[in-house]
Chain A
């Protein structure tokens, strides 16, 4: 099958900045009339973004803060919709978008695991069968029955990652979360990602760690101010990104001098 796993076609995403004094309550809306519901200003977080990702590819997304990387990943995950263009995704999506996403602090690790396994598309039976493996991979055997609020951010990430990789993803989206884990766990995650890759899983990885992109990804997307600056083999894209970054910081230091 040479079918594309992800097609992003002319996607634009606009964020609205509401009036600082936009009505947040019915009372205010009634008092002022509905005029103030109007949008004050807007900016494009993504503009005319297009690319295709073949099934089984691993693609890194690089770019500066605010370039639209996370927005892009969210849209591919189906969290929110593009204002223009369209996104097609073929296959089961699992996403690690932000840390501890959706985990409830008062529930135990195990309770959260069941909820998230099922929301992620496993049946309750499958969750029961795989929960031992999930807990073992996350190295949380001793803490799994404690409430999640007692977890460190690294522990939350381990649990989220473990659930995601154990729910047989066809498309895995990872946004920066690996940075929270310690070196040993990061290595374990990367091994696991390589393993999923070998099994034909498509992976999109947002990270500031360009070494990971070069090692793990065949291709990379460089986003700059919401537009695709470059898309191609990861070495090429990363080196262009790095030299541009150096350039920018050099210019910045000139301006400040």
Chain B
């Protein structure tokens, strides 16, 4: 019994250490020979923010209250989801050398990409705080629910990451298809628009989108300063966990053949 406990503890230390060096590797590779370095984590969402703000608040105003915070609190989680999934698609095929390494825990690769994009998300978070403060945000108790919403998003993104990583090994155009799907989902999700004016039954259908549920959770806390609607979030969490379990099983089965397919 004791032996098992020691073995499990060693395994956990090993996974933690490998995850740490892989995430560090991710960051080093991303910013090698780049002038702005870590600044790129901020520049991408900021550039998108600038364009959408200009179009939908100045040129064709949507008249959404607190538009700056509304927009940025939607864009930031979206950037995490999109960036992590696009990177996860390449997590196996771009790391064939690691996958062919003796004893390498392949299953950590999709987790690595989701975690390193979570770090980008957290690095850009202070900018959101600046927007919030300048918009007159007052700290309230619902803020304690924020880590939970982030956790739900983590599980959702992770569950999809294992699926796209597995698919990409067999079908190399998965990444392009994913790009198109993400493009569509971006416009079908209230990132820069507001769904209050949408007529039924479209509104109810739109709200089945797990990303809208998440964004609504973020905005309840950050823009409206109220507790997020817990039932839809729980549903997303539960659904994501099921997809994650399924995706992980499929990934594990497929991973036995990764070495030959790379």
Q: Which residues on A are within 8 Å of B, measured CB to CB?
A: 15-16, 23-27, 29, 74, 77-81, 93-95, 97-98, 100-104, 106-107, 111, 114-116, 118-121, 123-124, 173
Show 9 residue pairs from A and B whose CB-CB distance is below 8 angstroms, ordered by the A residue.
A24-B172, A25-B171, A26-B167, A79-B259, A93-B102, A95-B102, A102-B101, A107-B32, A118-B17
Known: A29-B171, A119-B98. A80 touches B22 (CB 8 A): no
B103 touches A93 (CB 8 A): yes
Can you name the residue of chain A whose Cβ is closest to the Cβ of B13?
A123
Q: Which residue of B lies closest to A25 (CB)?
A: B173
Using A29-B171, A77-B102, A95-B102 as known contacts, list a sample of 20 further A-B pairs with CB atoms less than 8 Å apart, ordered by residue number in A: A23-B171, A24-B171, A25-B173, A26-B167, A79-B100, A93-B102, A101-B101, A102-B104, A104-B25, A104-B29, A106-B29, A106-B32, A107-B29, A107-B32, A114-B21, A118-B21, A119-B98, A120-B103, A121-B103, A173-B102
Question: CA of A51 to CA of B168 in the docked complex: distance in angstroms?
Answer: 37
Distance of A91 Cα from B230 Cα, bound (Å): 48
B260 within 8 A of A: yes
Q: Number of B residues contacting the other chain (C-beta, 8 Å)?
A: 28
Question: Which residues of A have CB within 8 Å of B177?
Answer: 26
B108 to chain A, nearest CB (A): 10
Verify if B196 is at the interface (C-beta below 8 Å from A): no
Q: A81, A94, A104, A107: which contacts B102 (Cβ < 8 A)? A: A94
Cβ contacts under 8 Å, A25 to chain B: 171-173
Contact B100 A115 (CB under 8 A): no
Whether B98 contacts A102 by the Cβ 8 Å rule is: yes
Partner of B174, one of A26, A101, A118, A173: A26
Which of B21, B103, B260 sits near A115, CB closer than 8 Å?
Answer: B21
A102 touches B103 (CB 8 A): no
Question: Quick one: which of B87-145 are within 8 Å of A by CB?
Answer: 97-98, 100-104
Asked whether any CB of chain A lies closer than 8 Å to the CB of B14, the reply is yes
Given A24-B171, A101-B97, A124 and B259 touching (CB < 8 A)? no
Residue of B nearest to A164 (CB): B102
Contact A119 to B21, CB < 8 A, known contacts A77-B102, A107-B28: yes
Chain B residue nearest to A121 in the complex (CB): B14
Q: In the assembled complex, which residues on chain B have CB atoms less than 8 Å from the CB atom of A124?
A: 17, 20-21
User: What is the CA–CA distance of A226 and B18 in the complex, to the nearest angstrom?
Assistant: 35
Residues of B within 8 A of A (CB): 13-14, 17-18, 20-22, 25, 28-29, 32-33, 97-98, 100-104, 167, 171-174, 177, 256, 259-260
In the bound complex, what is the Cα–Cα distance between A102 and B101 (angstroms)? 7
- Count how many pairs of residues, one from A and one from B, have CB atoms less than 8 Å apart in the complex: 84
* Residue among B14, B28, B102, B171 making CB contact with A78, cutoff 8 Å: B102
Counting chain A CB atoms within 10 Å of each CB, the highest count among B17, B102, B256 belongs to: B102
The smallest C-beta distance from A216 to any residue of chain B, in angstroms, reads: 21
Interface residue from B13, B100, B259 paired with A102 (Cβ < 8 Å): B100
Measured CB to CB, the nearest residue on chain A to B105 is A119
Taken together as a complex, chains A and B put the C-alpha atoms of A100 and B96 apart, in Å, by 12
Q: Judging by beta carbons under 8 Å apart, are A119 and B13 in contact?
A: no
- The answer for the CA separation of A121 and B256 in the assembled complex, in Å, is 21
**B256:A80 contact, CB within 8 angstroms:** yes
Query: Which residues on the A side are within 8 Å of B167 (C-beta)?
Result: 26
Contacts of B22 in A (CB 8 A): 115
Complex Cα gap A173–B102 (Å):
10
Using Cβ atoms and an 8 Å threshold, which residues of chain A touch B18?
A: 118-119
Q: What is the CA–CA distance of A74 and B258 in the complex, to the nearest angstrom?
A: 13
- Residues from chain B with a CB closer than 8 A to the CB of A79 are 100-102, 259
| CB-based contact B25/A107 at 8 Å | yes
Also in contact, A77 and B173, with CB within 8 A (given A118-B21, A119-B18, A121-B14): no
Q: How far is the CA of A111 from the CA of B14 in the complex (A)?
A: 18
A31–B11 alpha-carbon span in the complex (Å): 45
Known: A27-B173, A101-B97. A77 touches B260 (CB 8 A): no
Query: B63: shortest Cβ distance to chain A, in Å?
Result: 41
Q: What 3 pairs across the A-B complex have the smallest Cβ distances? A: A77-B102, A95-B102, A25-B173
Q: Which chain B residue lies CB-closest to A16? A: B260
CB closest chain-A residue, reference B20: A124
Q: How far is the CB of B74 from chain A (nearest CB, A)?
A: 30
C-alpha spacing A123/B97, complex, angstroms: 21
